[in-house]
Structure 1
């Protein structure tokens, strides 16, 4: 099947996108009237804004037990960590996989597994760089608990970053999400943490490129023992 240039360049947009693209475009026009280089910069930023809010379709793997990445970006941390208290996942450390999204990554967030949203908890906080380990504890965040049909619970946390100042969660408690289904977005540059169940080892390493809804970060029940790795 051939892919047209239009399909390659033109991407679907998240509903949050058009209003910001319009603002950037208007600023580009005004800048161009005042000074040509400002207009050129405005056009470049408008194109960047368009691609920031892109929301391409993804091919979600469907093998049993697979946990997919909730975000595009790079794996920044793979280590044991206690989940945020507000999620109610207990005081014991779980393996945590963190995916850092730069301002050039698609920022639409997707469910790592199929399950019911049994808890949504927002926590106000600071805006350190999302690449830092302390961002998990101190930055503004919004966490979800997904409970699978067998009772397995997985935590996924949207974390604001140095530039990102707006977390959007587009689902509700009681909702049933399929693996890879969209559930939110963060503006502009941020991070997603996934807290895996006990006994599940990550299948990724620091620096690995992730594609939301497609890249497998773990297989539930995998007995392989993982070691902590960090930047």
Structure 2
């Protein structure tokens, strides 16, 4: 019997799901989701399934919706849990006072970098050829090849590009329209590599701990540092450019 069949309503009342059934439901959209990951999110207070008298977790539809929200925000926007928590609190507050009773998880709370409905759609294929990257980014194949040669996008072990390559190609095209050439983009690549090395050096030891949540905690640490790094880098650039223009 499929998880969907097991979770059909009984006597008009919605049933709940075990953690294993939840994993089966989420895995087609989030292949990397694990029981350990769900438990980690529960320990962080982001999802609170019911417990049976014998201590087993039972997840309601709302719990599963929250998990989809969290996993999509981490995957598609690389948000740290503190930001995701703030978004969920905004949504919860809206539901509690009746102002967002019909708002599905995925609607952006005002003033926060929120999730859009697209966050819940399956992500683009993660095995992209050069031509597929060009098509999805609406750029030329030549540009994709140039970005590859410059080391701005790199295929994985199987020779295919990941979905992030599409974002990089789109951004490179838009920067080009402002006069930013490929040689300029290499500076961004160098800076990103240095930042990634710093983050990896800090998160790596956490991942190596003998703790079932170690890898999840390391990934969360990396997301938090990355988000702070983006803020710092953007602010430093803004200040520097303003001073250059004021000369």
User: What's the TM-score, normalizing by structure 2?
Assistant: 0.27
Bigger CA radius of gyration = 2
User: What's the TM-score, normalizing by structure 1?
Assistant: 0.28
